[in-house]
Every structure is written in C-alpha cells, then in structure tokens.
Structure 1
C-alpha cells in the first residue's frame, strides 16, 4: 500500500474513531502474532493439506472474529470487510480482502487439521500472561444450540442425497417438557474473571453430566443436572430430591448458596446468544458447530477482557 493511500485511509478512519470504535478496543487485547505459526502450519506443502495460503492467515482469522462478533454470513462478511472502515482498520488495511470462498476454505482447513485446540490453548496462555490465571472456583454449565430439524422424522438422520437443510449430526432431546433439536455448548468459566476457560460441543441429546470440564484441584459449581456425576475437581453440585429422600433444610440452603455462585454462567450464555447470535446455527455437523463455538468463546473472552480493562483489572 502506497503512503498516500495509507494516509487517506487513516484520515478517513479518524473521523469514525471520534464517535467510538469497539473493534479498536478489542484489537489490542490479545497478541495476534503467536497465532500465525499455528495457522500457517496448515499450509506446509509436504502435508496432506498442502498448498500456500491465498491471503494472510491473521487477516483471515480476524475475519472469523468479525464474522462471529457481528453474526454475518460468509458472503456478507466479505462485503462488510470491503465496505466498512472499522473492519478494514481491524484487519490492518490489507491490500487484499479474502473473498467468501477463501474464508470458507480457511475455516474448513482449521477443522480438517484439528487446529481448534491449539488456537484455544494460545488464547488461554495469553489470559494467564495477563495475570488472569485460574484460581479454585469454576462454574460449569451447558446450553442448547438449536439447528434446523427439517421435515424428516426425528429418528432419521440426513442422508447424503437429502434435499433438506436438516442437520446431519443434530439430535432431539427434551427438557422440562420442551423439545430441542441440535447441539449443546458445554463451558466452564472461572469464578473470579468470568472468562471461558474450556468448552466442548456435543449433540443435544448428550446429558450434561456426561461432560466434565473440571481439573484436579478446582472447585466446580454445578446445577442439579450434574447430580450424581463424578468430577475431576471438587464437585460443588446442587442436590436433587429422589424417591424416598426429599431434600432437607441443609441441602436446600446449600443449593441456594451454589445457585448464587453460578449466576455468572447465565450472563455468558446471554452474551453468546444475543450478541454473538448463536441461539441457532445453520451448519450441519458437530465439527462445524464446534468451529463456530470456538470463535464464539474466543469473542466472548475478548468481550470480557474489554470489560475487565474498563474495570481496571488488567
């Protein structure tokens, strides 16, 4: 980019910045450079994935952040990254904005190469480096991520030749008498900073108690859905009445204390669903939903880091 063009873009952005730019606030909350070797390793020619990246991997990764932050389709993401000055500034004013097909291929390559964990681990390392290390108190919960059930019967998975948007891996389940179809996002957050520290994506029918995200030495607060399930950490799980064994006053009071401690997890799901638009997904497999949940959790942590910075914690 020539100096005149660079000057013109920055002058144009200054006018927008004067009225407030949230993207500018989150851009410097993480160091993007350590993600480069993780993402560029997907393009080593001697591997099965092969090929060279068509665009800068950090630009494409930031585009995935923008997509989740604003709830955009691939096609709309491309348009907005070309049109909006705040988006272009967040991307570093690249000379080339990847098209929607390139972004789709980049996301698929992350899935095919299993890079979700490495990306997430780098995020966690940076949180620790900011002094936000996990202490003892953790809160685990799960929420439904709905998908389109289509018109087939509930026990029929989508076939390769199906002409419906029915989710391939989604499953049916019931909770409190209400049917849900799709997937589940399981998360565990630290009680001190309310950051997502671990997550897992499953189908909707898998019971909450089958997923344990706690680690040894952690106190993990859980609701009645985890009653009877063993945790790797110290389980502070709400008690549930069973036949012939009603809850006593001590159990009721204990449940109330745990319930109060679990309040922050409700905010996590409110933000992820309302701000980052994950109440319902159009992708059709667990792997693709998990990639979407990776970016959702990544964006939530950026959102929470911004809050912590405002409060003077970091």
Structure 2
C-alpha cells in the first residue's frame, strides 16, 4: 500500500472543499473565538505550577460538542469520527499527528460546563454574534414547546411515591451505582396524536404516554433564530413558561403561540409589558368553534407554524434526544442543540446574502 504523504492529504482536503464541506463554511462564517471568555471563566484553568499534561483548548472542545449536537453523536462515536474524518480534523484544527480528545475527555468537559452553569451565557454570546451580523430580532416572537424523550425508568410504586415526595436518587437507592442511573427529575406526560385520515367520525385523538423533558423556545419572526429557551420536565404546562421566554429588549412586540399559552394571567402580563397577543383562542367548552374564531386561528397559524419547523429540524435532522440523567445535563444537551441550530441558520443566511 502506498504511504500517505502531506501532499496527498492536502489534495484530499481540496477535493472535500470542492464537493462542499459545510464545516469549512461554518468555521469561516462563525467566530468561535467569541466563546472563549465564557469557556475560560467556566473552566477556571489552573496555573499548572504542579505540572501534568496540558489540557485541550476549550474552543476545540466546544467545537466537538457542536459536532455532537449537529450529528447526534455519542461521546464514543465522536471520538472515532474525530480520529477518522479529515473534515472533522480540519474543523477542529487538528493535524494527522495530533492527539484527539477521547470519550472521557469529552464527557469531563461537558460536565464542567454543566457544573459551571454557563449554557445560558454561551447561548447569549452567540445571540450577540447573530445580532452584530445584522440579523435583529424583529417582526414578532413565536413561542412553542416540544417533548424530548429521555431513557425510561422502571420503578416500583414505592420508588415513584418517594420521587413525588421530592426525595433524591441517593435518598431512595443505597447503591450509588444504581442511584447514578436513575433519573428522578424527568417526568411522564400524555401527548395526543391527531386522528388518521379516514378514521371513524367521533373518534378521539390517541393518547400516547411520553417520558422526558420539554424544550421551550422563542424564535424571531424575521429570521427564524432561536432567541431564548428554557428546559423543564415533561409535565410542566407550556403556558406557565411564556413570561420566561419572551424578551422585552428586542424590536418585536407581537407574540404568536398556540392555545395552550392563552390564559387571563398571560394576557394581562402581555398587556402590562406592551406586547401584542396573537395567541390562538380556545374552543368554547361544550360548543362548536365559532367561524370567526376558527378563521382567526387559521390566520395566526400561518405565522406560528414556522416555530414548529425548528423542532422538526432538530429532531429529524439533528436527532435531538436525551441520553443522560438529570435536568442539568438535559439543559446542556438542549442548549447545545439550540446553539448548533442557530449556527446552521446563520450560515444559511450568510451564504444566501453572499450569493
């Protein structure tokens, strides 16, 4: 077999570029160095006076988390692909002779970000980069939520009762290894699927139990970027998160959301803060939906539907799901998916503008 030389690698990378390497375009458009101040503060690097192996660059490690979010990669799969793919090496700034982070290093880095609680700061940092690129949040705020599945828990009735009382995993299970595998923060909920075409008249929607967390987001109507987010367990009501998602520091006063967000409390809060409600109206209990309300909801749906495209992209293209235990890790996962989605959208806007 012919020995591979540096010129052969350069030729292969040129070929990858000619075929259209999305990671090369992303590295060109996005300023990853803008995340360094937040990362350095979160990691609190030591002065290394006692020696030891130098740590990997935090921006490189953050890029790995973005690769994982974009491609639904486990730590093991990420380690393999970083070592195997030239496009991944180039994106991370690694050469053929450089040592790549292993799965334990990736896990440890993500855990440090979780312990520092900086996912909101990282998200805000990139939101500023989006705005400084000229994509201001205007024309309205679209709000929605989506269930994100987590590993289901097999529990006894006594264990379920203990969780409802607010006990932690270590309080319930004496074995620390078993306790570490039990998620006491995710919750069950019921989601309803729409009736299939041709179903018998009067058939109710199918109720499907789901276990995990909820991703709540707000996107701007003008450009479709996620501008704020929050994460709760799956049992939380969507409407209770409205005031935490809406922003009053942007040029967007209109609010679009489905009927789960309509309540007297939310309508009063919107009016008090100068925001205009375009939230869907609910069907009167025990009555048919009046035609004027149905037409109004249909008009609102033409705007509100765009926020659902975000979840469709994250779940079907990016494979967003929860593999870990606990809401803090779930927030890191969902937050990174939101940042990665915004990165892809910024690349899309910038390429369109240049064309």
Q: Please say whether Structure 1 and Structure 2 have the same fold, judged by a TM-score greater than 0.5.
A: yes
Residue 53 (structure 1) shift? 6.6
Question: Cα deviation per residue 1:231-257 (whole Å; 9 max; x = unaligned)?
Answer: 453221100023367543332221111
For 2:261, the equivalent position in structure 1 comes to 226
d(CA) in 1 for partners of 2:54, 2:313? 33
**Aligned partner of 2:350 among 305, 309, 312:** 309
Residue 188 (structure 1) shift? 0.5
Aligned ranges 1:1-314 → 2 under 5 Å: 9-44=9-44, 54-93=55-94, 95-153=98-156, 155=160, 157=163, 159-160=169-170, 161=175, 162=178, 165-176=181-192, 177-212=207-242, 213-216=245-248, 218-228=253-263, 229-230=265-266, 231=270, 233-243=275-285, 247-278=289-320, 280-312=321-353
User: Where in structure 1 do 4 or more consecutive aligned residues deviate above 6 Å?
Assistant: none
What TM-score, normalized by structure 2, do the two folds share? 0.79
**Higher Cα Rg: structure 1 or 2?**
2
Is the 1:149–1:165 contact (alpha carbons within 8 Å) kept by the matching residues of 2?
Answer: no
The verdict on how the C-alpha distance between 1:126 and 1:163 changes in structure 2, with shifts beyond 3 A counting, is closer
d(CA) in 2 for partners of 1:165, 1:85? 36
Is the 2:188–2:209 contact (alpha carbons within 8 Å) kept by the matching residues of 1?
Answer: yes
Residue 164 (structure 1) shift? 9.1
Q: Kindly indicate which of the two structures has a greater share of residues assigned to helix.
A: 2
Q: Unaligned 5+ residue runs, structure 2?
A: 193-206
Residue 181 (structure 1) shift? 0.8
DSSP 3-state at the match of 1:294? helix
d(CA) in 2 for partners of 1:313, 1:208? 39
d(CA) in 2 for partners of 1:45, 1:18? 39
The verdict on how the C-alpha distance between 1:153 and 1:260 changes in structure 2, with shifts beyond 3 A counting, is farther
DSSP 3-state at the match of 1:258? helix
Alpha-carbon RMSD across the aligned residues, in angstroms, is: 2.6
d(CA) in 2 for partners of 1:294, 1:68? 9
DSSP 3-state at the match of 1:118? helix
Please say which of residues 239-248 and 249-258 is displaced more in the overlay: 239-248
d(CA) in 1 for partners of 2:54, 2:130? 28
Is the 2:119–2:336 contact (alpha carbons within 8 Å) kept by the matching residues of 1?
Answer: no
Instruction: Report 1 or 2 for greater relative contact order, CA contacts < 8 Å, sequence distance ≥ 6.
Output: 2
What TM-score, normalized by structure 1, do the two folds share? 0.89
